[in-house]
Amino acid sequence: MRLQVTLLLVCVFFPKVLTLMCYECISGLSGLCTDTQTYCSSQCASMTTATYVGGVQTGEVNMKGCAAAGQCVSGSLNLGLLKTTINSKCCSTYFCNSYKAPALPKGSPNGRKCYTCADDDCFRTVDCEGDEDQCISGRVSVGGAQMKMKGCASRSYCSADLSRTKAAGISGSLSCCEGNLCNSAEGVKLSLLIMLVPLISSILFI
């Protein structure tokens, strides 16, 4: 009888042990957000995304919420004219994401080069910066429009879980390679990239 009661209590309370309380917020145009509380099944996360256009920082978004292991990304995606950095800190104790993750520094050239695109010209190259040790090629579909993206990326970008981008209506694939100019040159329009890359970065943790 005692064993049966113990098993019953385990069944009732064990799921609650697996539930984690975390802070949740998404900053608006002001850059500020008010923390609310949410239940997470895996980890809490605090993330800051910074966007650069032409080497000048044009925006910063701070987020807190839930994250799976594959969504804890810290690194950068460099498409030449457009660059996005993500710094996410994940933890697994109650309300452990109370702090704001600092934005990553832009980084200095590290000697690697990858192909990138401007309008239809994809024979241009970009100097990789910081820990960008991969060349990246991607094919993305947004609202029926397909496009390609090329540039430098940190290794963590290449292994990131993009499942949430699919839920937001963005689908596609990314491939990474090591070595200078290993992502072959193909055509792409850059104007859509300027809107798309920060969006992908932001919805990883929504």
pTM of the model: 0.72
Length in residues, the chain: 206
> What domains sit in the chain, N to C, each tagged with a CATH number?
19-203 (2.10.60.10)
3-class state of residue 146 by DSSP: strand
Q: What is the pLDDT of residue 197?
A: 54
Q: What is the pLDDT of residue 172?
A: 62
Contact (Cβ atoms closer than 8 angstroms) between residue 148 and residue 187 = yes
Distances (CA, A) of 152 to 5, 16, 41, 73, 121: 58, 42, 33, 15, 17
pLDDT, block means (10 residues), the chain with 206 residues: 39 51 78 82 88 86 84 85 88 90 88 84 88 84 70 83 50 78 64 47 49
For the chain, how far is it from start to end, CA to CA, in angstroms? Answer: 46
Contact (Cβ atoms closer than 8 angstroms) between residue 133 and residue 178 = yes
One-letter amino acid for residue 130 of the chain:
G
Q: What is the pLDDT of residue 206?
A: 47
3-class state of residue 33 by DSSP: coil
Q: What is the pLDDT of residue 70?
A: 72
Q: What is the pLDDT of residue 114?
A: 94
pLDDT, one tens digit per residue, over 7-30 is 333 343 344 445 789 999 877 655
HSE-CB at 78 with a 13 A cutoff on CA atoms is 31
Distances (CA, A) of 92 to 68, 89, 130, 177: 11, 11, 28, 32
Q: What is the pLDDT of residue 113?
A: 94
The 10 Å CB-count burial string (b at 16+, else e) for 47-68 is: bbbbbbeeeeeeeebbbbbbbb
